[in-house]
Structure 1
Amino acid sequence: MMGKIWAFRALDTLFFRDGTPFNEGETGSVPPATLFPPSIMPLQGAIRTCLARKQGWTPDNGKPFPPELGDPDSLGQLKLEGPYLRFEGKCLFVPPSQLVGKQDSQGKWSFARLVPGNEVECDLGKVLLPEISRKDGKPLSAWLTREGLEAVLAHQEVREEHLIFPDQLWKEEQKIGIRRNRQTRQAEDKHLYTLTQIRPSRKLEVIVKVDGIPDSWHPSGMLGLPLGGEGRFARVEIGDECRENPFPAMPEIVTAKDGIVRFTVSLLTPGQYENPQDVIRNGPLGVPGRCVSACMGKAGTMGGWDLKHNCPRPLTPILPAGSTWFFEAPPELREEIEHLHGSFSGMKTEYGMGQMVVGIWKKQEES
């Protein structure tokens, strides 16, 4: 038994809506937006439905859903990792929030990183807020190659070729639709709607590692599966893991001159936590040492579709991928720190949520 890689490639536009109300009379002037890359929820639904059908289950044949694949609230024996983006055969990752960038008048990018500054008093009490070490810059709306992420984690120079921007990966398209009567197959008056869909590049794939079931349960070769809303389809290719590990390497964890180990923990996939406010302040539970600062983007929400009850799942808060915490620890905890790299934190870890990577940081005078 070994993990398989499910690679999804769009055959048309895709639609994964956010939490904006989409019922008649509720949207007002704000149309629902689409989220891309999608969360793990629509992907795990497509994967599990496909696996269950291969075992002879269909929604209306009366056979029970295979217990090995879980139920509406669990994955059973399944273990997922991802989703990740793969562009032209190379995996891409969300940059840790400590990385900022600036584009000059010639379009050339330069980069800097945030590090904990001096102690200040604010609404959180006395804390060390992140500050830019050398240059100015803004948070990046981009993706990092494996080499780029390794450079950020190792506190090394990041180059422009390490970044891939969203307009290279997908385009947004406005769509107008109309409700159709299923019995008469005719359009209904006064039922127009507008939404935004995503048209991914033909070279872009969304990949998920699927583990925990026998190899014979996985379909072979290539197939088409419905994915997301609006009845869109994706081509899925299922294969073995790459011989070359695409996961970023962890830098050497070193002890500073003052005898302290300074390291960062960043989310590679969004994290869901029972007490997110405590995690924002103190970092994920189980990380050794003392959290001295953090930087992260705006918290989001995650829902999905409940196939059993034919209704949307409740929205739950999540911390975004790229969220970064700065820690200090004594040298004797180095082995515990190293074990964090690639591990998972929080809730729904079997879904691949809360995967962490470890990096290093240096004080401003060392930077």
Structure 2
Amino acid sequence: MRLFIEPSDVWLFRDGKPFTAGSDHRAGSRFPPSPTTIQGALRSKVLLESGVSLVAFANREAAAQTIADDIGWPGEQKLPFRLQGPFLARRLFPGGPVERLYSAPADLALTKHELRKEQRFLYLTPAPALSIRSDLEALKLEDELRLLWAEGEERLTMVEGWLTQKEFGWYLTDPERLRARLNRRQSKRCRGLISEKSLFVRESRVGIALQEQARRPTEGMLFEVEYIRPRQCVGLLVEIGPAEGDIAPAIAAAFGQVGSHGTMSLGGEGRLARWEVISEDITPAPLIVERYFKVVLLTPALFKQGWRTDWNKLFGGSVRLHAAAVGAPETISGWDVARNREKAARPTVPAGSVYFFEKLDASPLQLREAFTNDDAHLGFGQFAIGAWHV
């Protein structure tokens, strides 16, 4: 079941930074939001549609057992369904087909010359002759991690923006075709990638804390909150599937069949969102794993060792990590409704990060559904495999 979710108001998706009265004055938003935000909103929607008492559900009473079988009890780590997403998506016109968008991969760079205005796109690749070795035992780095580089003496800047579904397919299978297309756009003074501003706007609003009982302003307690306002026809794409067997009856009843639509609360302050069940296939085309390949994260990932893990165990085969283009870590947190407290903050590897691997033997890799150690069922670690031409 695939849902396209659009805003009826601005959205608030807090980042993982602390925002406690008196300690900080600004709350930022991340977009797309964390998978944990989406699963919480969907479970709340299904629970409300079921008619089960929230108190009975929170207290794990027998009256709530049926709905708990479909969406899990509060605070449970393993849920009876799986999510993919959330992904940024858009319609080119109201009521049209939904197109999934992809964050610019971290190995895509743009030249920056101080004298010439011309810029061109290129790819960072593992350097063939340069390698680094670490004698820092505590880091436990791979023996031969390569530097990422690009030919030429021009300065490089990282790329920000979004690729269309067709362009991302080229990135995976025919990267030079994508690079040529982006450079043609750049030469015409058009932005090569879809810009953030063309998809959504960040709005900051100022408020003041109120006294709990008197409801009067508290001196010195000004704060600023950043909201997200997606453009028309821009929203989020989510896929809900069963952990095993068929999709849960309560989920099917809450969202219905293709073409069904409704409203739900989403994100901070319970802002209103419109959802619709769609039929479009939004999964990137699978690619056969050659000896050399790269993995691109489509949603944030959680690894045991920061940005890395036991790759052989994750792939179920023998592989070697040659290099990685990893973005700055994003912290996820949130509010634990069942325990009425903040969730522990966890750093994630952001979407768009790229890992370059070599398959070391002829045995097939046992690729998992997600490229992450934790919370794969919530949508973390969604990935695509692309060609790495050595």
**Equivalent of 2:88, from 76, 85, 88?**
85
CA spacing shift, 1:178–1:113, aligned 2, 3 Å: same
Distance 1:262 1:24, change over 3 A: same
**Percent of paired sites with the same residue:** 26
Show structure 1 runs of 5+ residues with no match. 255-260
Residues 1:94 and 2:124 aligned together: no
Alignment check: 8 A CA contact 1:225 1:233 kept = yes
Q: Output aligned runs, 1:182-221, within 5 Å.
A: 190-212=220-242, 213-214=248-249, 216-220=252-256, 221=260
Offset at 1:178? 2.8
Q: 1:273 aligns with which of 303, 315, 329?
A: 303
- The answer to whether the 8 A contact 2:371-2:382 is kept is yes
The unaligned stretches of length 5 or more in structure 2 are 58-62, 92-97, 135-140, 186-191, 243-247
Q: Indicate conservation of the 8 Å contact 1:16/1:34, yes or no.
A: yes
What TM-score, normalized to structure 1?
0.83
Question: What per-residue deviation string (whole Å, max 9, x for no partner) do you get for residues 215-247 of structure 1?
Answer: 64333432222211134221122x1432xx332
SS at match of 2:356: strand
Instruction: Evaluate the alpha carbon distance shift between residue 272 and residue 194 of structure 1 in structure 2; reply closer, same or farther with a 3 A threshold.
Output: same
> Could you tell me which of 2, 6, 21 is aligned with 2:3?
6
Distance 1:81 1:55 in 2: 23
Of the candidates 115, 123, 130, which is equivalent to residue 125 of structure 2?
115
The equivalent of 2:64 in structure 1 is 64
Say which of 264, 281, 285 aligns to 1:225.
264
Greater alpha carbon shift after TM alignment, 292-301 vs 59-68: 59-68
Q: Displacement of 1:142 after TM fit?
A: 0.9
Give the Å deviation of 1:341: 8.5
- State the TM-score, normalized to the length of structure 2: 0.78
1:163 maps to which of 193, 215, 221: 193
How far apart in 2 are the matches of 1:341 and 1:113? 27
Which letter does structure 2 place at the counterpart of 1:285?
L
Structure 1 stretch displaced more, 146-155 or 270-279: 270-279
Once the two structures are TM-superposed, the CA of residue 284 in structure 1 deviates from its matched residue by: 7.7
One of 11, 18, 22 as aligned partner of 1:21: 18
CA distance, structure 2, for counterparts of residue 108 and residue 250 of structure 1: 35
Task: Report deviation, 1:277.
Answer: 5.0
Correspondences of 1:1-367 after superposition (within 5 Å): 4-27=1-24, 31-60=26-55, 63-64=63-64, 66-67=67-68, 68-71=70-73, 72-88=75-91, 89-102=98-111, 110-117=120-127, 118-121=129-132, 123=134, 126-133=144-151, 137-154=156-173, 155-158=175-178, 159-160=181-182, 163-180=193-210, 190-212=220-242, 213-214=248-249, 216-220=252-256, 221-237=260-276, 239-242=277-280, 245-251=281-287, 253=289, 261-276=291-306, 278-279=308-309, 285-286=314-315, 288=317, 289-330=319-360, 332-333=362-363, 335-336=364-365, 340=367, 343-363=370-390
| In 2: Cα distance, 1:291 partner to 1:131 partner | 16
Show CA shifts across 1:59-101 (max 9, x none).
Answer: 2366536222113133531111111111122101123211113
| Aligned-partner Cα distance in 2 for 1:329–1:307 | 44
Look up the SS of the partner of 2:285 in the other structure: coil
- What are the superposed Cα offsets for residues 93-139 of structure 1, whole Å, 9 maximum, x if unpaired? 12321111347899876321111102333655653111125676322
Aligned partners of 2:315 and 2:367 also within 8 Å:
no
Distance 1:211 1:189 in 2: 49
- Contact 1:284–1:346, Cα closer than 8 Å, also in 2: no
Distance in 2 between residues matched to 1:40 and 1:5, nearest whole Å: 15
Shift of 1:362: 2.0
Asked whether the equivalents of residues 69 and 75 of structure 1 are also in contact (C-alpha less than 8 Å), the reply is no
Q: Give the RMSD, CA atoms, in angstroms.
A: 2.9
- The Cα of 1:183 is off from its aligned counterpart by 5.9
The residue type equivalent to 1:120 in the other structure is S
CA distance in 1, matches of 2:368, 2:7: 31
Letter in 1 for 2:19: F
Kindly provide the amino acid, as one letter, of the partner of residue 93 in structure 1.
Y
CA gap of 1:348–1:130, structure 2 versus 1, over 3 A, is: same
Deviation at 1:316, TM superposition (A): 0.9
Q: Distance in 2 between matches of 1:137 and 1:340?
A: 33
Contact 2:105 2:296 in 1 (8 A): yes
Which residue number corresponds to residue 257 of structure 1? none
Q: Does the CA-based 8 Å contact 1:153-1:360 persist in structure 2?
A: yes
TM-superposed deviation, 1:282: 5.3
